Amino acid sequence: MQIQFLGAAGTVTGSSFLLTNNNQKILIDMGMFQGSRELEELNQKPLTFAANEINTVFLTHAHLDHVGRMPILMKHGFAGSVYMTAATREIAEVALLDAAKIMQTEHEKPILYTEEDVFSLLAHTKIVSYGEEINLGGFTALFRDAGHILGSASIEIHLGEHTLAFSGDLGNSPEELVKPTEYIKLADTVIMESTYGDRNHPDEDPNEVIIGEIKKIEGTGGALLIPSFSVERTQALLHKIAHFKADGKISHEIPVYLDSPMGEAVTEIYKKFPSLYNAELFSDSKSHDPFSFPDLRIVANYKESQKIHTEAGAKVIIAGSGMMTGGRILEHAIHYLPLSTTSLLIVGFQAENTIGRQIEEGAKSVAIYGQEVAVNSQVIMIHSMSAHADKKLLLRWLKEIEGVNKIFLVHGENTSREALRREIKKFSRGEVFLPHLEETVEI
């Protein structure tokens, strides 16, 4: 049996693994490479495998770095089935259509596929529930809740004499929204992520920081800008604010604008899957809609978005994109960053070469749409709202698996996976590998 590492080998993005056993070919994820220009160019490389020979594709979750290249399969004669959870199916549709639209409108990005390819890929979907045994003639597979985002999965595959565990992206459990990460009990071969393999998340309480910032603008009448990713982070923020208002920790009156069409679409999907929520933490919720609260204002269009600037008084604005690389947050940044009453709250990872990263690093002005915008606002960062397991949670997940003799570390920068390998060596007798891009290994 062979595994070929077609992405996320030495980098965080581009997740994709090809499993070959005799004439069985199984693809796990086919994500977009994201970040530097060099990395993004990998998205255009011709496929190194015959898409028409693949019968089975497993998708761990709907983040673009796991699903973003998948529609390319349709141009190459793929006719198999794509297995994913129901929630992943819905979020993947929103994320892929958005990606296809950006390719058509942003001329700098190559057109890898069209909206038509997205629909044609999704027509091959087979919906899977967590824990359901999928028998596929010669092998079986099981999806386990990875606790990372709604619908996310780790996948167990029993093929030939091997049991393989693909971690997918592991969650930062316990989370307020998604259920805790489910463990895999037995596997000889483990392919696991290592995003935070070299560090633990800081021991800070994000709720205290957010409440503090909202109270501050209640006093000054300023704006609190929160650039936010559409999937998971936006829903987590809305849910937190709903609790703060219900519990009287912030004023009922303060308006919160959700100015992100994709964030809104994904929030509607979250509402359809209450059975996937962390029920324990939800038992105190009186409302059936965990993302709604008094004075939540959904911004319908660009004109309404511009109108916010004419409204006096304290306000919270949650808008995409999460790293300020585009989207409606930019117009708000132009208007509010020069004002000293503004607070900019960074709640997610900011990649190099993004406006978010420049501000995080203390830039006194940033260029937006060709104009220099002064940053006179306060900048606050929360590092503990990550949707990813940190070092201790990654190790905990691995320790639960019995019978491990080979561990492949993927989905992490080299420093992260080297640090994680050193930690694993302290307790595991399994061999630990750091595969490189396109490497094929025999197991």
Q: Which residues of the chain form contacts with Zn ion (CB under 5 A)?
A: 63, 169
Output 63 or 332, the one with its CB closest to Zn ion.
63
Least distance in Å: CB of 13 to Zn ion? Answer: 10
Instruction: Return the DSSP state at 310.
Output: G
Query: Residue 442 — φ and ψ, nearest 5°?
Result: -95, 135
What phi-psi label fits residue 21: left (phi over 0), alpha (psi between -120 and 50 degrees) or beta?
beta
**What sections of 316-433 are H helices per DSSP?**
329-336, 355-360, 391-399, 414-425
Least distance in Å: CB of 388 to Zn ion? Answer: 7
| CA–CA gap between residue 364 and residue 223 (Å, rounded) | 18
Least distance in Å: CB of 150 to Zn ion? Answer: 11
Least distance in Å: CB of 67 to Zn ion? Answer: 10
| CA–CA gap between residue 348 and residue 302 (Å, rounded) | 24
Output 67 or 184, the one with its CB closest to Zn ion.
67
| CA–CA gap between residue 334 and residue 325 (Å, rounded) | 13
Residue tagged 């199916």 (tokens): 89
Output 167 or 343, the one with its CB closest to Zn ion.
167
Least distance in Å: CB of 87 to Zn ion? Answer: 13
Least distance in Å: CB of 151 to Zn ion? Answer: 11
Least distance in Å: CB of 83 to Zn ion? Answer: 17
User: Cα torsion for 347, 350, 354, 360, to the nearest 10°?
Assistant: 70
Closest CA to 31 of 45, 48, 43: 43
**Bond from prior residue into 16 cis (ω within 30 degrees of 0):** no
Output 256 or 323, the one with its CB closest to Zn ion.
323
Output 63 or 391, the one with its CB closest to Zn ion.
63
Output 63 or 328, the one with its CB closest to Zn ion.
63
Residue tagged 């619908």 (tokens): 151
Output 88 or 342, the one with its CB closest to Zn ion.
88
One-letter amino acid at 227 equals P
